Amino acid sequence: MAKDMSYDAVNTRRAEIMKKAVGMDYDQYEYEDGNLSFNYDKMMDDAGYSLKEIEEIEAITGVGHTPLIELKNLSKLSRYYAPKGKGARIFIKDEYANPSSSFKARRAAIACYHAKKMGYKGVIAATSGNYGAAVASQAAKLGLKCIVVQECYDSRGVGQPEIIEKARACEAYGAEVLQLSVGPELFYTFLILLEETGFFNASLYSTYAIKGVETLGYEIAEECRQKYGKAPEAVVVTNAGGGNLTGTARGLLEAGAKDTQVIGASVDLSGLHMASDTQFNKKSFTTGHTGFGIPYSTWPDRSDVPRSAARPLRYLDRYVLTTQGSVFYITELLAKIEGIERGPAGNTSLACAFKLAQEFDEDAIIVVQETEYTGAGKHINPQLTFAIDNGIKLSVGETKNEVPGESIILPKDPSYVHVWDNDVVEMRKSLIRNAVKNHDVKKVTKRDIEFLVEDTKSNTEFVVGYLAELGVEHN
């Protein structure tokens, strides 16, 4: 009898498909004495690779040990607008130097290495971004087949220049790219392909992908110590699905940089729904924005694996937002006063770092932990042209007045780069609320409380107090 390939039937087989495609039984990490908790630390440890081994694996394909560059001109400009004695030194970790020209080569290197080690013939990634190119590049180096499933078009068949450019990059590395329209067909198609091909799920949210980024945080801390005698005061990480921040923070902790602030940064796209066909092309950023950053932080297990290894609220100290116009402006500024042309995602954290540096002392070090390639559709000019074509009003002035989906306002001068704090306490509450709702629990155990304390980087009093507000009992 032919297998039922209807949408509902395929999704019913999700756990079975994922178990074969990742090679992990996620059920083993569920606590018997927990109603919503799982053993995160054991899941990460069971990946089976030490940091030293990950460094060695990445080195095989030329990944890692990228330059740490001080942006002296940008730091000087930021200091000009800072109070006296303030204005930290701004550095970037230039991940452009990796194969495929982004930090995601680190994630892909471990995922593809493990896939080959376990005997898989190919890898599949569901992504509209640089991760697809990274997986394709690493797969090519290791002789694996690669399929990238990409959410690309709205119902009119119109795709964003940045996404189309990323598809070109994936194909350049030899991947087969399936370009789909926005909506539920992406994950459905992804599951079908995993089941039919038997390929490895090179998920952004697996333990392998997250552990691959740990070397990035470790390198930042060690290089700062070697060159400047201390770990950085802050590391600013563009946040979307959470893996970038999680892996970097874990690497910093592995290096003993416990006092380094981990600051997440996203473009504010509040009011736009990422799964809306009509709003899909109203945004000018395909990643590093609140449409991913908020929901994936407050409910990590919405991903394509049963338990996500990307859990940013475990490590986040502060979360700041900025505007599309501010990022476009800093992108151009980086090129014109530093002679470095890089892509949009890393420049999200750079825009925030430019403003945040004005809060820190002059001898402090702030590291923007990644850059990526730009060019073709990823460049600011085609992105702004596309925005105008989609009815977005472009102007110069006060960035605080920018409305996502309606306007992009480029700063009048550097003092108009706008950055503000998102409420991390409310995000922690949202995570607890989502955990209770999605596991449908009325009572939690001591184990659950301990888990929620860790998952929110808070304390028992906070977790128990908020559970009481929700009317949830505990042992």
Residue 236's φ and ψ, nearest 5 degrees, are: -105, 125
The stretch 61-83 carries a mean pLDDT of 98
Taking Cα atoms as reference points, which of 238, 351, 240 lies closest to residue 291? 240
* Residue 74 confidence class, pLDDT cut points 50, 70, 90: very high
Task: Please give the pLDDT value at position 287.
Answer: 85
225 has pLDDT over 70:
yes
278 has pLDDT over 90:
no
Task: Please give the pLDDT value at position 356.
Answer: 98
Give tens-digit pLDDT for 372-386: 999 888 899 999 999
Return the percentage of the chain with pLDDT > 70, whole number.
100
Rounded Cα distance, 410 and 134, in Å: 31
Give tens-digit pLDDT for 18-57: 889 999 999 999 999 999 999 999 999 999 999 999 999 9
Task: Please give the pLDDT value at position 29.
Answer: 96
276 has pLDDT over 90:
no
How many DSSP H helices and E strands does the chain contain?
18, 15
Q: Which two tokens stand for residue 204?
A: 């952004």
Residue 22's φ and ψ, nearest 5 degrees, are: -105, -20
The stretch 424-435 carries a mean pLDDT of 98
Q: Which two tokens stand for residue 112?
A: 């593809």
Q: What's the mean pLDDT when you consider all of the chain?
A: 95
The stretch 184-192 carries a mean pLDDT of 88
Q: Residue with structure tokens 């390939």?
A: 5
The stretch 188-199 carries a mean pLDDT of 94
- pTM exceeding 0.85: yes
Rounded Cα distance, 418 and 412, in Å: 11
Q: Are 271 and 383 in contact (CB under 8 A)?
A: no
Task: Please give the pLDDT value at position 1.
Answer: 62
Q: Where are the beta strands (DSSP E) in 175-225?
A: 176-181, 200-201
Q: For residue 32, give every residue at least 6 positions away whose Cβ sits within 8 Å of its Cβ, in sequence order, or none.
A: none
Task: Please give the pLDDT value at position 328.
Answer: 96
95 has pLDDT over 70:
yes
HSE on the CB side for 73, CA within 13 Å? Answer: 9
Q: Taking CA 436 as the corner, what is the angle to CA 435 and CA 437, rounded to the nearest 5 degrees? A: 95
* Residue 289 confidence class, pLDDT cut points 50, 70, 90: very high
Q: Taking CA 322 as the corner, what is the angle to CA 290 and CA 314, rounded to the nearest 5 degrees? A: 50
* Residue 339 confidence class, pLDDT cut points 50, 70, 90: very high
Rounded Cα distance, 243 and 77, in Å: 31
HSE on the CB side for 331, CA within 13 Å? Answer: 26
- 126 membership: H or E segment, kind and range: strand 122-126
Taking Cα atoms as reference points, which of 330, 331, 328, 321 lies closest to residue 270? 321
Q: Which two tokens stand for residue 39?
A: 């053993």
Rounded Cα distance, 261 and 118, in Å: 37
Rounded Cα distance, 158 and 285, in Å: 15
Task: Please give the pLDDT value at position 423.
Answer: 98
Taking Cα atoms as reference points, which of 113, 142, 307 lies closest to residue 202? 113
**Helix intervals (H) in 46-173:** 51-60, 72-80, 104-117, 130-142, 161-172
Q: What is the dihedral of CA 68, 215, 456, 310, to 10 degrees?
A: 110
281 has pLDDT over 70:
yes
Task: Please give the pLDDT value at position 3.
Answer: 87
Residue 119's φ and ψ, nearest 5 degrees, are: 90, 10
